[in-house]
């Protein structure tokens, strides 16, 4: 008798399940909710299955000074150029410092002008010809990017509630095309959760950011600091993120920047032994830092081995992980190039 009384409930559950299935079929076949959004960098798009996917939390980590902010800016500006609305919140730098990177990148990669980030920030001191270069680069940014891109709106603090208020307010920024903006936050460990316990606070922050991505059918990109052991090693692994457990479990797509020479276990020669045989040593972070310092002290170009980076896909919920995109970082102009061969050829995709 009791079983018979439960039959209507079971029928209702079956009907609800059918409705859910029909909604799923319509979503994946009639909508473009999960159409990949291209980063603008061919090797990255190939490594992640065509591009970034909506409703996901994307994490990017590396040691300091490896260009993770420049890489995130490049990707976000490429997406804005393709018509996607972007909100970029940097909790370390102000809007002028971020825009200077963008203008320097455009000036060099699009126009061939050698204007460094510092040159842009000190535009008051530019010579007449340099002023024209600066104006031309600004015009390109205004025409191709600025209408879809916002850096650091006024009034945003590093508290998670302030950040979420800004993100929700930015939904109005996209009201004309009914698409929530892609959001980038730089960087995770600077967000104040309001919790005394750092690990618990990190969990709450990540949950709220991921919920925003899912609820608003968009992408939230979060730059994160790596732990000290990873920084000393010069390579990134899944466990490299500081306060790592919440990151590993909640991130849908996790990238890590490593020095290619260290990651590939390349060697260099330094002298010979008593028999005249070359002495070979593995590249490590101290060697790369020494080479950078020597180049700076001597006024030389940064050695290529110090610029070669591997963007590793450490986790991807939808495509096999352990894929890598090879890149070259030009810190002077805050830009990346794609290494199209392992040895010598570079190609610039910085637009």
2 pLDDT above the threshold of 60: no
Residue tagged 């920024």 (tokens): 173
- Whether 185 and 163 have beta carbons less than 8 Å apart is answered as yes
What are the beta bridge partners of residue 269? 280
Give dist(CA 183, CA 179) in Å, integer: 12
Q: Which residues of 106-138 are buried (b: 16+ CB within 10 A; e: fewer)?
A: bbbbbeebebbbebbbeeeebeeebeebbeebb
CB atoms within 10 A of CB 282: 11
Lowest mean pLDDT among 58-62, 105-109, 126-130, 174-178: 174-178
107 pLDDT above the threshold of 60: yes
Q: What integer is the mean pLDDT of 274-287?
A: 93
Instruction: Sketch out the chain's domains with CATH numbers.
Output: 32-259+305-347 (3.40.50.300)
Q: What is the pLDDT of residues 226-277, one digit of tens each?
A: 888 888 888 888 887 766 566 777 889 999 999 999 999 999 999 998 899 9
For 178, 186, 204, 297, the CA distances from 223, given in Å and listed in that order, are 26, 5, 16, 31
Angle between helices 160-169 and 198-215 (to 10 degrees): 10
Q: Which residues of 28-61 are buried (b: 16+ CB within 10 A; e: fewer)?
A: eeeeeeeeebbbbbebbbebbbebbbbbbbbbbb
Burial class (CB in 10 A: 0-12, 13-18, 19+), 213: buried
Nearest to 109 by CA among 84, 133, 131: 133
As a residue count, the chain comes to 351
Q: Strand (E) positions, the chain?
A: 56-62, 86-90, 149-151, 182-186, 219-225, 253-259, 267-272, 278-282, 308-316, 323-330, 335-339, 346-347
| pLDDT score recorded for residue 22 | 83
Could you tell me the pTM of the whole model?
0.87
Average pLDDT, the chain: 88
Q: What is the pLDDT of residues 184-213, one digit of tens each?
A: 999 899 999 999 888 889 899 999 999 999
| pLDDT score recorded for residue 346 | 42
Tokens of 115: 């204007």
Give dist(CA 347, CA 249) in Å, integer: 35
DSSP string for residues in 169-196: HGGGGGTTTT-PPEEEEE-GGG-B-S-S
| pLDDT score recorded for residue 343 | 46
DSSP string for residues in 62-100: E-TTS-HHHHHHHHHHHHHHTT--EEEEESSS-HHHHHH
Nearest to 334 by CA among 93, 127, 28, 31: 93
| pLDDT score recorded for residue 249 | 76
Give dist(CA 254, CA 123) in Å, integer: 37
Give dist(CA 288, CA 305) in Å, integer: 8
């Amino acid at each position: 008798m009791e079983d018979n009384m439960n039959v209507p409930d079971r029928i209702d559950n079956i009907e609800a399940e059918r409705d859910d299935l029909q909604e799923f079929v319509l979503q994946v076949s009639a909508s473009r909710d999960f159409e990949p959004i291209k980063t603008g960098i061919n090797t990255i798009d190939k490594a992640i299955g065509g591009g970034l996917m909506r409703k996901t939390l994307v994490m990017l980590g590396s040691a300091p000074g490896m260009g993770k902010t420049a890489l995130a800016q490049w990707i976000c500006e490429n997406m804005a150029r393709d018509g996607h609305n972007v909100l970029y919140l940097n909790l370390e730098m102000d809007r002028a410092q971020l825009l200077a990177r963008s203008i320097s990148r455009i000036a060099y990669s699009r126009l061939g002008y050698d204007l460094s980030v510092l040159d842009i920030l000190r535009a008051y001191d530019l010579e007449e010809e340099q002023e024209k270069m600066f104006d031309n680069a600004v015009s390109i940014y205004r025409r191709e990017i600025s209408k879809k891109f916002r850096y650091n709106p006024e009034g945003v603090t590093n508290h998670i509630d302030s950040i979420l208020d800004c993100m929700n307010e930015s939904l109005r920024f996209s009201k004309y095309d009914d698409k929530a903006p892609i959001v980038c936050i730089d960087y995770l460990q600077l967000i104040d959760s309001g919790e005394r316990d750092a690990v618990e606070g990190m969990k709450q922050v990540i949950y709220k950011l991921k919920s925003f991505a899912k609820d608003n059918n968009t992408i939230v990109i979060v730059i994160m600091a790596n732990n000290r052991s990873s920084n000393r090693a010069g390579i990134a692994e899944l466990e490299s993120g500081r306060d790592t457990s919440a990151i590993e479990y909640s991130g849908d797509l996790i990238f890590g920047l490593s020095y290619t020479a260290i990651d590939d276990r390349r060697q260099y020669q330094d002298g010979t032994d008593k028999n005249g045989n070359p002495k070979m040593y593995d590249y490590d972070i101290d060697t790369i830092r020494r080479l950078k310092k020597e180049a700076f002290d001597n006024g030389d170009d940064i050695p290529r081995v110090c610029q070669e980076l591997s963007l590793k896909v450490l986790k991807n919920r939808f495509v096999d992980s352990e894929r890598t995109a090879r890149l070259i970082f030009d810190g002077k102009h805050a830009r990346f190039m794609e290494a199209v061969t392992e040895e010598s050829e570079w190609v610039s995709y910085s637009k």
